[in-house]
């Protein structure tokens, strides 16, 4: 059987019926990674040995009992973005600086997956420290888009999205600071969720920008995504910014909700001015499907895109410049040889260890926080962020979800921004809104571009803490897309 | 402290380690010493992905310290990152409080050389984490992170001190208050209390502030005093020689008693402070403040006032006792057990206080009170009282009265015995006898003194006097 094209939910059913063992499934995926990943470069590390050990243990200890109550993740392989710490498995952040770093502990999100019987099969490629949106800024080579290997898979969670899209793994964890789950999910034609800020613990997520970083799932379909979300969401006392109280489970309620009467905000003018035609058409098709389901479409205006983008890059770079200070070559990571002074050791280790994009952002962030600049730029960015949050509060009194494109265009060709690296920052315009406002947002494919065969996705943003609404509307849309495809087929 | 027409203007930044059991942002032990890096975890060594969580006990201890120093509590304060590179700083930044401190606007009182009460303002107190420790050995540098993340309070005084004595009094008083509230042991030799001192000088009568230097990391009160004296004169001499004081950090060298420039602040470090996004704002409820205020012990100033008014102590004696929590605890117990408070106080200051710091057994407060009563009743003399104080610690279980009886230490009142003493004295001092008989009445004193000495001070002085006059 070709398991590797199945969704997490389908695999889960097979495991529950004991039609397949965890070991069989794990070996199947490892074999496929070995066969195919050299073309894609989605993985930095394949943890074959420990995965097989875990899978065997799950077969013997859990699946051998006749228990009916099994968690949907039991025995199923998962890939983890390489900025989430995995105890005993190398965690590099795609940086030369951490190329040999083996953490002594696991990230809380990883621990939760392990607790539910997930099998960690490997660590996925990314833009170094999460900085980038193409997976080209990795010290260990680029990842290619499985739908067209001449193009980027998006980033920074590009390895996770490419692995899921190409069936190298049924699901993966990513992290999202300004769009790093949603954009690669869209580029690769899979489903990626950025939960509300604080919904999933950041403990063990190697920080890029602490006030924006989130952890979320990438899957082939919406309901599987919700199942993973349920497993990793919840308060963690080890993360002081973690949301208080229990997270409401989503997967059991996702099918009940009707979207009829739901008010959907669409920033028509922003879409008009900032996207190419194919993207516009994709968003319009989604809008039409929602209309058809009885939703109310409302034209809205989002905060100024240039200010939003500037605030995002100012805040994220400022925080990054401080978060990345610990990579000094003293306690772990790469240390330059033959240094005569401590300052030389810092300079050389960091010069060798960090890639260009990381250096660019550290420099920018250091500048923005400097005594003379802080008030003029950093504090203004914080002020702008507060204003954006308030704008969204107002918008959400008039609508229940907001739909935007994920990206202004189709996945671009590898190397496009090589000569002007910061020009690609503007590609993030649609995703940074939810990041700055801390809101849950999902990215899901809505249609296929006929000429390239690439998938085009949209983003659904919900109110703070209202992941359920986001999932319900995504699930309804996903079903409606399937129905309409079926109708098309019937017409033919 | 005036030198060549100049006076010093001095402000202190004092760091104190709080005595919480665990560190400020993780649950590692704060115990002093221990094998290098044995009290560490991913959080306090700044491992990738590790996050801080605030230890609420640190907040409570800091507030207690602040209330004892008459500060106002900020009900909402923040945590800020102070960014700089140093090998003992694991994260490349220290989590401190920059914009808004937990506590502000307090004061403490000291008495100056002339016995004048001085009010020393405290600008702010904030909480922060300590760094690790570098150990230089055989051309290598090793790092011990056991101290990294130990909670500190930084107490910033206003620049309102002018002499080395004031600085020393301030530090002593600060230590007394913090130790008495139990929030810090303030052991300067273990580095749990250390002071940075800002010094500038100006002509007497001038009220402006001039360029200051900062003397870093003083680890004893006496060094602080000497460092201030040296730095004050150095600055005055520099100015009078036509030189200029530069804003800089200086180090005090204990051996030479001088300060030396460490680094100039001209190209001042930019710490790029910003609010730590890993920690929410620190909020404090009225309930917490009230409950901490309610558990404050009697503070040194109140103690001094009470000692003066209730037990008629001099200001100096009262301060002496109030300075040490162990001393005042002992004294508080003993003084309530006797009516002869003045006598007890004298015995306490003379005989007990010097021994309290040492790890020797000491007479119990109740036995001291009993000895006091025996002395006041004339049952024993001063010498015996002192003897009993040392003997009572050795002879477990026996009361002072029992020891007096057993060792025959009571006063000699028997006239026969006193005459025997005088007879011996008369034989030994024939010259004094003849002097007395020739009209030198004062000569009787040497005879009485000799008799008293033979009795080892146990003869009743009144009877001895009477009998001496009779005999001669």
Domain ranges across chain B = 2-291, 298-406, 415-471
d(Cα B401, Cα A34) in Å, to the nearest integer? 94
Q: Which residue has the tokens 């100015």?
A: B239
B348-363 burial string, b = 16+ CB within 10 Å, else e? bbebbbeebeeeeebb
The pLDDT-based confidence of B267 (bands split at 50, 70, 90) is low
Cross-chain residue pair B274–A210, CB shorter than 8 Å? no
Among A202, A346, A370, beta carbon nearest to B85: A346
Among B42, B45, B274, beta carbon nearest to A318: B274
Q: Is the dihedral of CA B150, B154, B103, A325 positive or negative?
A: negative
d(Cα A373, Cα A233) in Å, to the nearest integer? 38
pLDDT tens digit sequence for A310-335? 999 999 999 999 999 999 999 888 88
Q: Is the predicted pLDDT of residue B360 greater than 80, yes or no?
A: no
Classify residue B430 by burial, with Cβ atoms within 10 Å: 0-12, 13-18, 19+: exposed
Per CB-CB distance under 8 Å, the chain A contacts of B143 are 330-331
Per CB-CB distance under 8 Å, the chain A contacts of B47 are 103-105, 331-332
CA distance A211 to chain B (A): 5
Per CB-CB distance under 8 Å, the chain B contacts of A104 are 42, 47
Per CB-CB distance under 8 Å, the chain B contacts of A98 are 48
Cross-chain residue pair B90–A378, CB shorter than 8 Å? no
CA distance A73 to chain B (A): 25
Among B45, B51, B85, beta carbon nearest to A331: B45
Q: Least CA distance to A322: which residue of chain B?
A: B83
Whole-model pTM: value is 0.90
Q: Least CA distance to A374: which residue of chain B?
A: B272
The pLDDT-based confidence of B265 (bands split at 50, 70, 90) is low
Mean pLDDT to the nearest integer, B96-104: 97
Residue A190: closest CA among A124, A238, A234: A124
Report the number of secondary-structure helices (H) and strands (E) in chain A: 15, 11
CA distance B201 to chain A (A): 28
Q: pLDDT tens track of chain A, all 492 residues?
A: 577 789 999 999 999 999 999 999 999 999 999 999 999 999 999 999 999 999 999 999 888 887 778 899 999 999 999 999 999 999 999 999 999 999 999 999 999 999 999 999 999 999 999 999 999 999 999 999 999 999 999 999 999 999 999 999 999 999 999 999 999 999 999 999 999 999 999 999 999 999 999 999 999 999 999 999 999 999 999 999 999 987 789 999 998 878 999 999 999 999 999 999 999 999 999 999 999 999 999 999 999 999 999 999 999 999 999 999 999 999 888 889 888 899 999 999 999 999 999 999 999 999 999 999 999 999 999 999 999 999 999 999 999 999 999 999 999 999 998 888 777 888 999 999 999 999 999 999 999 998 999 999 999 999 999 999 999 999 999 999 999 887 766 654
Among A103, A238, A324, beta carbon nearest to B51: A238
Per CB-CB distance under 8 Å, the chain B contacts of A325 are 83, 85, 91-93
Our CA dihedral for A431, A434, A438, A441, rounded to 10 degrees, sits at: -90
B40 in A contact zone (CB under 8 Å): no
Helix/strand/coil for A46 = strand
Per CB-CB distance under 8 Å, the chain A contacts of B278 are 207, 210, 240-241
d(Cα B152, Cα B129) in Å, to the nearest integer? 6
Greatest CA separation found in chain A? 76
Distances (CA, A) of B297 to A157, B114, B303, B310, B417: 57, 29, 10, 18, 54
Contact in structure between A140 and A125 (CB atoms under 8 Å): yes
Preceding omega of A415 cis (within 30 degrees of 0)? no
Cross-chain residue pair A325–B85, CB shorter than 8 Å? yes
For residue B177, give the H/E element and its range: helix B164-181
A241-275 burial string, b = 16+ CB within 10 Å, else e? bbbeeebebbbeebeeeebeebebbbbbebbeebb
Q: Which residues 6+ apart lie within 8 Å of B387 measured at CB? A: B409
Per CB-CB distance under 8 Å, the chain B contacts of A101 are 48
Among B48, B52, B272, beta carbon nearest to A369: B272
More confident residue, B354 or A430: A430
Per CB-CB distance under 8 Å, the chain A contacts of B274 are 318, 322, 369, 374, 378
pLDDT (0 to 100) of residue A333: 86
Among A107, A322, A370, beta carbon nearest to B81: A322
Among B83, B87, B280, beta carbon nearest to A325: B83
B interface mutation test: which of A237, A322, A386, A436 has the most B CBs within 10 A?
A322
Least confident of A140-154, B71-85, B259-273, B338-352: B259-273
> Can you list the domains of chain A with their CATH numbers?
3-232 (3.90.1300.10)
Contact in structure between B412 and B370 (CB atoms under 8 Å): no
Beta-bridge mates of residue A264? A297, A401
Distances (CA, A) of B337 to A343, A379, B100, B373, B410: 65, 64, 48, 10, 22
Per CB-CB distance under 8 Å, the chain B contacts of A200 are none
Contact in structure between A159 and A204 (CB atoms under 8 Å): no
Q: Report which listed range, B92-101, B294-303, B309-318, is most confident.
A: B92-101
Q: Least CA distance to A104: which residue of chain B?
A: B42
Distances (CA, A) of B80 to A4, A372, A386, B243, B280: 48, 18, 19, 38, 11
Token pair recorded at residue A8: 């997490």
CA distance A368 to chain B (A): 9
By annotation, the residues of A acting in catalysis are: 81, 156, 180
d(Cα A48, Cα A205) in Å, to the nearest integer? 22
Cross-chain residue pair A325–B272, CB shorter than 8 Å? no
Among A206, A237, A324, beta carbon nearest to B49: A206
Cross-chain residue pair B49–A366, CB shorter than 8 Å? no
CA distance A62 to chain B (A): 31
Per CB-CB distance under 8 Å, the chain B contacts of A84 are 49
pLDDT (0 to 100) of residue B285: 97
Helix/strand/coil for B6 = strand
Surface of B (44-73) touching A: CB under 8 A: 45-54
Residue B386: closest CA among B399, B377, B375, B401: B375
Per CB-CB distance under 8 Å, the chain B contacts of A206 are 48-49
CA distance A187 to chain B (A): 28
pLDDT tens digit sequence for B303-335? 999 999 988 888 888 988 988 888 888 999 999
Q: Angle at the Cα of B323 (from B321 to B328), degrees rounded to 5?
A: 45
Cross-chain residue pair B48–A105, CB shorter than 8 Å? no
Average pLDDT, chain B: 91
B149 in A contact zone (CB under 8 Å): no
CB half-sphere exposure, A326, CA atoms < 13 A:
23
Q: What is the DSSP letter of B348?
A: I
Domain B415-471 has CATH 1.10.340.70: no
Surface of B (70-109) touching A: CB under 8 A: 81, 83, 85, 87, 90-93
d(Cα B126, Cα B153) in Å, to the nearest integer? 6
Cross-chain residue pair B278–A378, CB shorter than 8 Å? no
A interface mutation test: which of B277, B279, B281 has the most A CBs within 10 A?
B277
pLDDT (0 to 100) of residue A399: 97
d(Cα A26, Cα A9) in Å, to the nearest integer? 16
d(Cα B254, Cα B259) in Å, to the nearest integer? 9
A interface mutation test: which of B139, B269, B270, B272 has the most A CBs within 10 A?
B272
pLDDT tens digit sequence for B36-67? 999 999 999 999 999 999 999 999 999 999 99
Q: Is the predicted pLDDT of residue B149 greater than 80, yes or no?
A: yes
Helix/strand/coil for A250 = coil
Cross-chain residue pair A203–B270, CB shorter than 8 Å? no
Cross-chain residue pair B53–A370, CB shorter than 8 Å? no
């Amino acid at each position: 059987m070709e398991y590797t094209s199945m969704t997490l939910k389908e695999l889960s059913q097979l495991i529950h019926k004991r039609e397949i063992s965890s070991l069989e499934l794990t070996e199947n995926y490892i074999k496929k990674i070995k066969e195919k990943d050299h073309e894609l470069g989605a993985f930095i590390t394949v943890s074959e040995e420990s995965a097989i050990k875990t899978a065997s243990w799950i077969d013997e200890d859990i699946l051998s009992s006749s228990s009916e109550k099994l968690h949907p993740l039991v025995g199923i392989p998962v890939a983890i973005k390489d900025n989430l710490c995995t105890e005993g498995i190398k965690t590099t952040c795609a940086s030369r600086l951490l190329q040999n770093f083996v953490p002594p502990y696991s990230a809380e999100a990883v621990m939760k997956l392990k607790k539910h019987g997930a099998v960690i099969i490997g660590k996925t490629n990314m833009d170094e420290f999460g900085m980038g949106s193409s997976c080209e800024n990795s010290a260990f080579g680029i990842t290619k888009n499985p739908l067209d290997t001449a193009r980027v898979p998006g980033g920074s969670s590009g390895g996770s999205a490419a692995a899921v899209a190409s069936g190298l793994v049924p699901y993966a964890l990513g992290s999202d600071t300004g769009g790093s789950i949603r954009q690669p999910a869209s580029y690769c034609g899979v489903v990626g969720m950025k939960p509300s800020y604080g919904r999933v613990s950041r403990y063990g997520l190697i920080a890029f920008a602490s006030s924006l970083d989130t952890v979320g799932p990438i899957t082939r379909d919406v309901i599987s995504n919700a199942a993973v979300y349920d497993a990793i969401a919840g308060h963690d006392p080890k993360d002081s910014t973690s949301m208080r109280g229990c997270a409401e489970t989503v997967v059991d309620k996702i099918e009940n909700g009707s979207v009829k009467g739901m008010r959907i905000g669409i920033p028509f003018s922003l879409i008009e001015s900032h996207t190419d035609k194919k993207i516009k058409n994709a968003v319009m098709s989604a809008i039409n499907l929602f209309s058809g389901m009885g939703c109310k479409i409302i034209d809205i205006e989002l905060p100024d895109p240039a200010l939003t983008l500037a605030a995002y890059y100012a805040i994220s770079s400022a925080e990054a410049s401080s978060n990345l200070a610990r990579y000094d070559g003293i306690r772990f990571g790469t240390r330059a040889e033959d240094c005569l002074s401590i300052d030389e050791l810092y300079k050389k280790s960091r010069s060798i260890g960090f890639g260009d994009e990381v250096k660019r952002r550290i420099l920018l962030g250091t500048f923005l926080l400097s005594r003379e600049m802080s008030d003029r730029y950093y504090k203004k960015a914080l002020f702008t962020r507060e204003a954006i949050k308030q704008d969204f509060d107002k918008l959400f009194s008039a609508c229940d979800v907001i739909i935007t494109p994920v990206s202004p265009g189709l996945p671009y060709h590898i190397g496009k921004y090589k000569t002007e690296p910061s020009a690609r920052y503007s590609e993030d315009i649609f995703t940074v809104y939810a990041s700055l406002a801390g809101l849950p947002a999902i990215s899901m494919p809505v249609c296929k571009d006929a000429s390239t065969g690439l998938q085009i996705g949209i983003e659904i943003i919900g109110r703070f803490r209202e992941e359920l609404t986001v999932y319900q509307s995504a699930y309804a849309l996903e079903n409606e897309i399937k129905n309409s495809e079926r109708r098309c087929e019937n017409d033919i | 402290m005036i030198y060549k027409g100049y006076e010093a203007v001095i402000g202190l930044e004092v760091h104190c380690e709080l005595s919480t059991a665990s560190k400020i942002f993780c649950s590692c032990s704060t115990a002093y010493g221990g094998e290098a890096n044995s009290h560490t975890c991913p959080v306090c060594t700044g491992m990738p992905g590790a996050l801080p969580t605030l230890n609420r006990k640190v907040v409570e201890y800091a507030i207690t310290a602040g209330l004892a120093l008459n500060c106002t509590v900020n009900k909402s304060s923040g945590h800020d990152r102070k960014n700089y590179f140093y090998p003992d700083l694991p994260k490349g930044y220290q989590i401190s409080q920059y914009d808004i401190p937990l506590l502000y606007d307090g004061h403490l009182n000291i008495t100056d050389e002339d016995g004048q009460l001085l009010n020393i303002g405290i600008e702010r107190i904030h909480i922060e984490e300590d760094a690790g420790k570098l150990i230089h050995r055989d051309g290598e540098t090793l790092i011990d992170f056991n101290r990294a993340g130990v909670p500190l309070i930084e107490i910033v005084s206003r620049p309102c001190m002018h002499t080395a004595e004031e600085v020393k009094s301030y530090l002593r008083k600060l230590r007394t208050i913090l130790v008495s509230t139990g929030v810090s042991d303030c052991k300067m030799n273990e580095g749990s209390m250390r002071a940075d001192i800002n010094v500038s000088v100006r002509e007497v009568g001038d009220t402006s502030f001039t360029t200051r230097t900062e003397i870093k990391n003083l680890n004893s009160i006496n060094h602080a005093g000497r460092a201030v004296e040296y730095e004050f004169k150095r600055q005055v001499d520099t100015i009078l020689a036509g030189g200029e004081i530069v804003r800089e950090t200086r180090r005090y060298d204990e051996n030479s008693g001088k300060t030396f420039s460490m680094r100039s602040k001209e190209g001042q470090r930019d710490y790029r402070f910003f609010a730590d996004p890993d920690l929410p704002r620190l909020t404090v409820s009225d309930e917490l403040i009230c409950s901490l205020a309610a558990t404050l012990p009697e503070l040194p100033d109140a103690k001094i006032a009470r000692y003066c008014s209730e037990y008629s102590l001099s200001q100096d004696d009262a301060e002496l006792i109030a300075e040490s929590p162990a001393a005042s605890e002992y004294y508080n117990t003993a003084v309530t057990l006797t009516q002869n408070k003045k006598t007890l106080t004298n015995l306490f200051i003379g005989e007990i206080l010097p021994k309290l710091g040492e790890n020797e057994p000491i007479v119990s407060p109740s036995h001291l009170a009993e000895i006091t009563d025996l002395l006041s009743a004339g049952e024993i003399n001063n010498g015996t009282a002192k003897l009993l104080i040392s003997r009572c610690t050795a002879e477990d279980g026996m009361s002072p009265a029992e020891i007096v009886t057993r060792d025959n230490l009571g006063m000699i009142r028997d006239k026969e015995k006193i005459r025997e003493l005088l007879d011996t004295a008369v034989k030994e001092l024939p010259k004094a006898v003849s002097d007395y008989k020739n009209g030198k009445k004062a000569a009787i004193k040497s005879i009485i003194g000799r008799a008293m000495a033979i009795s080892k001070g146990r003869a009743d002085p009144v009877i001895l006097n009477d009998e001496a006059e009779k005999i001669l």
